[in-house]
Structure formats: structure tokens, C-alpha cells
């Protein structure tokens, strides 16, 4: 679509931000008092708090708790204009981005498009697996788990039944570990009550990790303990194994082993989600833009990239920073500062990542934490780590309202052992057709 | 599908309930200690609290607040078996219902399938209007309202713009009145902040009622006051007018007037949702089963119908009881009692409707109430009615958890003037294509 999108021109330098994830949103907010016009473009009208998506997927939280509409977050920011649109191409020559609502002119362009699920080119896997990157992914997983059990009630054949009751999670990073843990909690506290007619000793949860460690980026203690907790909760952890193929029914591992499941959750990799239009030499491995220490895309002084989509190569991080919320937010904040400096004719300041540590929860009372506290490294696992995990996540939520409601939800679930969002609304992954075992005669 | 659905046989008389709305759910719960096996069949896995759907549609409540999974509500009821299935046909001869999961045998069958939107045969209206009967309807309306405004930002043409900003609601019953009121609140408190670039003086809300009264079933005071409140809130109420046609863009009234809107909400009628298989003489006007005073479908001693789908004709209610939650729940409770009596060889007791009154809310601090209090008729409008409305709806919600969270939500919204669920997730009604006004040159 040619033609200019209808956005008032404030007569100030215009900063166009593509993507309202952790990095883009932080940047937009930090530009609040800057002498610029900010145009934030996203294909959704809400910010997603991805670290808690797995709780939506496992019926612990409602969608509401993990999304915040951009217009609500930013409605008092007068220099900001939000547009719901898809960005199709960057035209660096003309300084415009081509979008689904027309051309948008920029003085400075910031790419904050984040990451997308990486199937490493396996189209069959992409078709059959469920990912865990978006709200729709989370809803789909929740609906699919619940539908599986409803269908399982009609099955007599043992193998067919197991294919519906068993789950295979690929990827031993935080998402994989957290989903495996949450499913094991549902198996223990919820499903046997909901589905008295099914025998949940038949429900297997497999977690497959290509390397020999879970939570690879974390400390050795965290890796070891997360494995111990998962095994205690009855999750079957397969280390040093890879999935070779999955046809929607049979999972084949590189060892020749096979598992049967209708639900494979793919948490094994993400890749940058670059936009068309910049020359290929701007891109690094994994679809990330090569940026300098000011987050400038190499060769394009007016184009920046922050967060997952940016690979700022340094001696400490030769392949760029980890694809997490913290680097994205810190880059967003610094870039706001640097844009103000640039406009004032001052030199920008280089980015230094302040790694505050990592956390992952395995289940009720069980988490692992590697954090910095008062300048010291603290490595802890178990109940204290779980309390820290909850506190950090609550404090990171966007609004006070979300914090309050998530806190109340968690408190409620903790004392009642309940996870109440067990309804099937919206998309469900239809499995490869199952032949229901029905008896011939009417008894 | 032939073949028997796999449901354990308890060796007790089996009561099959089709539909878990207010009537079916109440019956299922009341049969908790009865010497029967209860099979509850619904095409959703959750009960919907329909009276608050309009708040989901207008971003006031999350879906979570108005639905409850059946398995959660009923998980301690040992004689109950829930099945997620569609019922296709009744075979009264063989005493089975044909469903999407196979045949289900019954000793007693209770039809509690409720009502569906009635377009009175107008296929064009059905295609173009949004209804307000299901959770998906409510989500669709919310998404459509928000998408309209996002699209409106790109329009220059005045008429096109108004077609996106204006809303037409057909039907002056509680649903129509409540949606009109809620939209006027959004127009006053929320939208102007979210969409600073739009002029909300251009947003018109039309409510069309075929008769000369709003809230027809209620008292004259309630009708008069609801009209007064709506007009005070800037809703354009059209009494004694009918919609002749709607092509997705132009609404033509019987007076020859036309209105232009891309969003017409149809709240003008419901009809029973009968199941195939019973002879046509069982059905009355509006698709309801003719039942005797014990809710037995005429000519079928083992088949009952309760709630919206049942027309129990009496001198007081010549066309059956009003299609509301109260008669359905009372019939459900009495039928549980009567089934126990029948099994004990006792005569059943006839149904007498205890009309506890009606309530409707127009907006913040404004509702109308016709209720019975300590045996006396109380008619009140305004703040007191609004407090009563909230109290009654809170107490009617299924679980303590839902009551607590809805209460907190309402309290939060009351003091902050906020309605936070303004995200577009799930289906959106795509309007008849709008030609975006885009300028030719890049300025």
C-alpha cells in the first residue's frame, strides 16, 4: 500500500518504534518528556508479558493478567501516537516504513520486533507442534490439553488413549521447564478430580533437552536442582537427546526411541523477526540485526534495533546479549537517553548490560534463582527462590491493577490448590483424527 | 454416528440433561444426592453467566469472570458424568440421544438447551449483525468496537468515519439498554483518552425499540426512568420504530429514515433452540416445547424440558414463562425434586413461578429495579437500584472466587473510571471494506 498513513505531524523529530514488547515499550515510555514525536506501531493493540504466558497455557492465569492495552498504558503520553498495523518493509532511502495502513515517515526508526519461534526449517514440526510465544499460542495449548482429556474419555484403545494423555515438551530452557512443572501440578492436583474416569498414572510428561543441562544460561546448582525437582514431580527428563521428527502422532528421537503424543510443545528455540528492506549484511546468525554499542544498525545512522532483534557483539557477549526482557528494557531506556543526546548535539553513551540474574519456577514452592542482591551473587533453590520469583514477576507486571489481580490469583490458587481457567474458548489444535472406540450394541 | 458413547453405567436410573445453562446446571446440582446417574451434555465445557456478557462486550469484565468450567463446579458430585458433545437428535422410541460422541441412553431426558438469537428469518441481518448470546459474541463485539476506532484513525471521509464511530442497537430489552448504557460510559470516560485523535462528539449510539416502552416486562416507572437515564447519557432512543434492513452499512428503518453504521447489535429477540427428533406438535411458537405443569413434554412421559426451551402455558403466563434465569432455575430445582418423587412412586408437584422481580442497569449509579422485598413490591430507580443490581448479580455468580474477583473488578473500575479489558484478541467482525483515505505525497 502506497499513500501516507494519517498521523498528525507535530513538527518535531519523529521516532518510529516498531514493536511494543519489553524493549519498544520501555523506550516509548522513556521518551515521554523528550522533544520528539513517538509513533509506536504494533500488530497487536496490547503488550504481552511473556514470562507468564505459560501460566495462561496451564489454566493458572487468565489472559487478562498478562496483557495490557498500549492505549491504556500510554494514554497520558501526549507525544505518543499508537498505530495498530503490520510493518511490511523499511525504505531507508526515503526514510519511511511501509505498513498495512500506508507509509509512515521517520526521522529515527527503532526496530523492536522481538523474536519468533525457530523451528530450524522443519516445516512438519512447525505444522504439528504448539509454540509458546504469543497469547494465541497459550490459549491454544490450554484448549488443546483440555480437549484431549474430553476426547480421551471416549477411547478404549490403550495406545490411542496414551497419545492424548501424554505430553512432550522440547527444550529445557525456562519455558520448557516451567511448562513441564505446571503440567505436573495439574496432573497431581486438578485433573484427577476433573476427570475421575481417567487414570492419570497413564499421563506422562516428557521433557527433551539436546544438551546435558537444563536452564543452560543459569548456574550449575540451578540446572541440577531444576532437574531434581522435575524428576521429583514425575517429569521424565531426557537429556542429550534431540527430536528428529514429529508427524502429529509419533515423536522420533535421534536415539531411535519413539514417543507417542498428540501434543508436542516446541520451546527449543527462537530467532529474530527481522523486517524486509535492509541489506542482508545487516543481519547476523539467528535473524538479528548487527548493531553497534549504541544500538545503531550498522551502516544506518538513523535506524536502531533493540532487544531480541539486536545482536550487539562484544567480548563478553560474542553473539549478542541473551534474548530476555532485561537486556531489551535496558537498551530501550538507554536509547531514549541517547536519542535526546543526539538531538542536543551530544555524543551517545555505550550500552553496558547489567545482568540482574535469572529465575525459573518449577512448581509450588520450588524455583531456582541466580540473582545479585546488594552487589553480591545469590544462588538459591527451593522455597526462598520461589518467593523471589513471585516477587520479581509481580513487580515487573505493567500496571498496579495487574499486580494486584495476579497476586490475588496466586494467593487463591496457593491455598485452594486450584487453577480455575479450565475452559475451552477459542482455537484448539485438532489432532490427527482419532477413531473413537464405540460399542456396537446399546446396553 | 452410531455406536454407544463410553459412559460407565452405574446401574441406577439415568437422567440425561442436555444443556448446562441456568436450568440444566441447577437441576444437575439438585440431583446430587438423588439415587440416579446424571449425565450432563453441553457443547461447551463451561457454564456462561449471560446477564454479565454485556460487560465482557464493553471491556468491563474479562471472560474469566462470567464463565465457570462444568468440571470445576461439579467435581465433587459423584453421580454426575459430564460430556462435551453436540446433541444431534432425540430417538424417543429407543430412549437414546444421538450425539457427536455416539448414542447416549437415558431413562429420563431433560432438554435444557436454552434460547438462541432470533433474526425472524432475516438472513441478511443474521450475516451482518452482532448478537449477544454467547461468550464468542461478546468477545467479537469488544474486538469490533476497538478495531473500528483503530481503523477510524486512518479515515478522512466524514461519512465513512461516522460509520465506524456510530453504533446501532436493536431491541430495548435489558440487553439492549445495558449495552447502550455501557457504550455511553466508554464514550464519556475511556475512548476520548485512548483515541485523542478522534472527536467523540461524532460517536452516536442509537437504540431502536419497536414498541413505545423500553424494558417492556418491567414497571412503567422502570421503563420511563431507563429512557430518561439513557437520554441523559446521550443515547438516541428511537421508540416505535423497526429496522427494515441492514446491509452491513446502511440501516433502513420502517419510517424511511436511514442510519449508517458498521456495527449493528441485534438484541431484538430470542427463540428456543429445540433438538431434532420430537414430533412437531410438541413445539409451540418461538421454538419452545409445550410442557405440562411438571415440565413434561406433552406425550413423552420420560422427556422433560425446562427454562427458555419450555413453554408451560398457564392462565397467568399464556405463552409460557419469561425467558430468564429465574424460571429456569426454579424449574430445574423442582424437577430434581419431582424426579426423586417419581422414582419413589410418588406424584410429582406442579410448578409455580415465584417472580422475584427484574433489574436492569443503565450505567454508573443508575439502574432500575422492580423487586419483592419481605413480601412487598419495591420499585426503585437510580443509586439504590444500582446497589441492588450489583448485589443480586454478585450473589448469583457461580463460585465464591468469581464473586470476589467481579467485586474487586467493579470496585476498581468505580473508583478509577477505568475499564481495562481493551485488547483485541480473537475474532473481529470485518466490516464491509473501507477505502482508507491516504494522501499521495510523502510530507
Does the pLDDT value for residue B431 go beyond 80?
no
Q: What local confidence, expressed as pLDDT, does residue A39 receive?
A: 98
pLDDT over 70 for what percent of chain B?
96
Inter-chain contact B3–A412, Cβ cutoff 8 Å?
A: no
Complete domains list, chain B, with CATH:
14-43+85-117+270-343 (3.50.50.60), 123-268+365-416 (3.50.50.100)
Taking each helix axis from N to C end, the angle separating A220-232 and A174-185, rounded to the nearest 10 degrees, works out to: 20
Picking from B210, B204, B211, the residue whose alpha carbon sits closest to that of residue B259 is B204
Per mean pLDDT, which range of A330-334, B158-162, B226-230 is the poorest? B158-162
Residue tagged active-site, from A26, A98, A140, A178: A178
Is A435 an annotated catalytic residue?
no
Q: Categorize the per-residue pLDDT at A311 as very low, low, confident or very high, splitting at 50, 70 and 90.
A: very high
The rounded Cα A134 to chain-centroid distance in angstroms is 7
With a CB-CB cutoff of 8 Å, which residues 34-63 of chain B face chain A? Answer: 44-46, 62-63
Residues 99-138 of B with CB under 8 A from A: 101-103, 105, 135-136
Mean pLDDT, residues A70-92 taken together: 95
Q: Note the pLDDT tens digit of each residue in A124-176.
A: 999 999 999 999 999 999 999 999 999 999 988 888 899 999 999 999 999 99
In the predicted model, is pLDDT for residue A109 greater than 90? yes
Q: Which residue has the higher pLDDT, B434 or B210?
A: B210
Q: pLDDT band for A211, please (50, 70, 90 cuts).
A: very high
Instruction: Mean pLDDT check: name the lowest of A42-51, A286-295, B189-198, B390-399.
Output: B390-399
Rounded mean pLDDT, B299-315: 96
Distances (CA, A) of B100 to A334, B2, B5, B350, B352: 58, 9, 9, 34, 36
In the predicted structure, residue B334 carries a pLDDT above the cut 60: yes
What SS3 string covers A287-300? Answer: CEEEECCCCEECCC
Residue A434 pLDDT: 47
> Is the minimum CB–CB distance between A203 and chain B shorter than 8 Å?
no
Q: Please, what is the angle between helix B325-343 and helix B22-30, to 10°?
A: 30
Least confident interval from A278-282, A379-383, B436-440: B436-440
A441 touches B: beta carbon within 8 Å? yes
Q: What is the Cα–Cα distance from B58 to B419, expressed in whole angstroms?
A: 8
Helices (H) and strands (E) in chain B, counts: 12, 25
Bridge partners, B81 (sequence order): B39
Contact with chain B for residue A93, Cβ under 8 A: no
CA angle A319, A323, A325 (to 5 degrees): 140
pLDDT of the residue at B439? 40
Chain A residues inside the 8 Å CB shell of B420 = 64, 69, 72, 399, 401
Higher pLDDT, A330 or B430: A330
Residue B262 Cα distances to A432, B129, B159, B436, angstroms: 39, 9, 11, 15
Tens of pLDDT along B33-87?
Answer: 999 999 999 999 999 999 999 999 999 999 988 999 999 999 899 999 999 999 9
pLDDT tens digit sequence for B338-369? 999 999 999 999 999 999 999 999 999 999 99
Across the range B381-387, mean pLDDT stands at 95
Q: How confident is the model at residue A431, as a pLDDT?
A: 61
User: Looking at residue A25, what is its pLDDT?
Assistant: 98
Confidence of residue B433 (pLDDT cuts 50, 70, 90): low
Q: Give residue B426's pLDDT.
A: 83
Which residues of chain A does B438 touch, with a Cβ-Cβ cutoff of 8 Å? Answer: 1-6, 102
**Given a cut of 70, is residue B152 above it in pLDDT?**
yes
Average pLDDT over residues B311-317: 94
Can you read off the three cell numbers belonging to residue A261? 503424543
At B420, list the grid cell.
481495562
In the predicted model, what is the mean pLDDT of chain B?
Answer: 92
- Percent share of chain A, pLDDT over 70: 96
B266 within 8 A of B129, measured Cβ to Cβ: yes
Check residue B376 and give its pLDDT: 87
Q: Is the pLDDT of residue A354 over 70?
A: yes
Q: Do A155 and B422 touch (CB under 8 A)?
A: no
Amino acid at each position: 500500500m502506497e499513500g501516507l498513513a494519517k498521523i498528525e505531524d507535530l513538527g518535531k523529530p519523529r521516532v518510529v518504534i516498531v514493536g511494543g514488547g519489553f524493549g519498544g515499550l520501555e523506550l516509548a515510555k522513556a521518551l515521554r518528556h523528550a522533544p520528539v514525536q513517538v509513533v509506536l506501531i504494533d500488530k497487536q493493540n496490547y503488550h504481552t508479558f511473556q514470562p507468564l504466558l505459560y501460566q495462561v497455557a496451564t489454566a493458572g492465569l487468565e489472559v487478562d493478567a498478562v496483557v495490557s492495552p498500549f492505549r491504556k498504558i500510554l494514554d497520558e503520553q501526549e507525544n505518543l501516537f499508537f498505530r495498530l498495523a503490520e510493518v511490511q518493509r523499511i525504505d531507508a532511502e526515503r526514510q519511511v516504513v511501509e505498513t498495512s495502513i500506508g507509509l509512515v515517515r521517520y526521522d529515527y526508526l527503532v526496530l523492536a520486533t522481538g523474536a519468533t519461534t525457530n523451528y530450524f526449517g522443519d516445516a512438519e514440526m512447525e505444522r504439528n507442534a504448539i509454540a509458546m510465544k504469543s497469547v494465541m499460542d497459550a490459549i491454544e495449548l490450554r484448549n488443546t490439553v483440555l480437549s484431549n482429556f474430553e476426547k480421551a474419555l471416549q477411547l478404549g484403545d490403550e495406545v490411542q488413549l496414551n497419545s492424548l494423555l501424554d505430553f512432550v515438551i522440547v527444550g529445557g530452557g525456562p519455558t520448557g521447564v516451567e511448562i513441564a512443572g505446571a503440567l505436573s501440578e495439574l496432573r497431581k492436583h486438578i485433573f484427577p478430580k476433573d476427570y475421575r474416569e481417567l487414570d492419570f498414572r497413564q499421563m506422562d510428561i516428557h521433557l527433551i533437552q539436546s544438551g546435558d543441562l537444563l536452564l543452560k544460561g543459569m548456574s550449575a546448582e540451578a540446572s541440577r536442582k531444576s532437574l531434581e525437582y522435575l524428576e521429583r514431580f514425575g517429569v521424565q527428563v531426557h537429556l542429550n537427546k534431540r527430536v528428529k521428527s514429529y508427524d502429529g502422532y509419533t515423536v522420533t528421537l535421534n536415539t531411535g526411541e519413539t514417543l507417542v503424543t498428540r501434543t508436542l510443545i516446541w520451546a527449543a528455540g527462537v530467532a529474530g523477526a527481522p523486517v524486509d528492506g535492509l541489506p542482508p549484511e545487516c543481519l547476523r546468525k539467528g535473524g538479528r540485526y548487527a548493531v553497534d554499542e549504541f544500538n545503531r544498525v550498522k551502516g544506518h545512522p538513523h535506524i536502531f534495533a533493540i532487544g531480541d532483534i539486536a545482536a550487539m557483539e562484544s567480548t563478553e557477549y560474542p553473539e549478542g546479549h541473551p534474548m530476555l526482557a532485561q537486556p531489551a528494557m535496558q537498551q530501550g531506556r538507554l536509547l531514549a537517553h541517547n536519542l535526546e543526546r543526539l538531538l542536543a548535539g551530544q555524543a551517545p553513551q555505550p550500552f553496558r548490560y547489567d545482568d540482574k540474574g535469572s529465575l525459573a519456577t518449577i512448581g509450588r514452592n520450588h524455583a531456582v534463582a541466580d540473582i545479585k542482591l546488594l552487589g553480591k551473587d545469590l544462588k538459591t533453590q527451593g522455597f526462598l527462590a520461589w518467593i523471589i520469583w513471585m516477587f520479581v514477576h509481580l513487580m515487573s507486571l505493567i500496571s498496579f491493577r495487574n499486580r494486584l489481580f495476579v497476586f490475588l490469583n496466586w494467593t487463591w490458587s496457593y491455598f485452594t490448590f486450584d487453577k480455575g481457567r479450565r475452559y475451552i474458548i477459542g482455537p484448539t489444535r485438532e489432532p490427527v483424527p482419532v477413531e473413537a472406540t464405540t460399542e456396537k450394541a446399546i446396553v
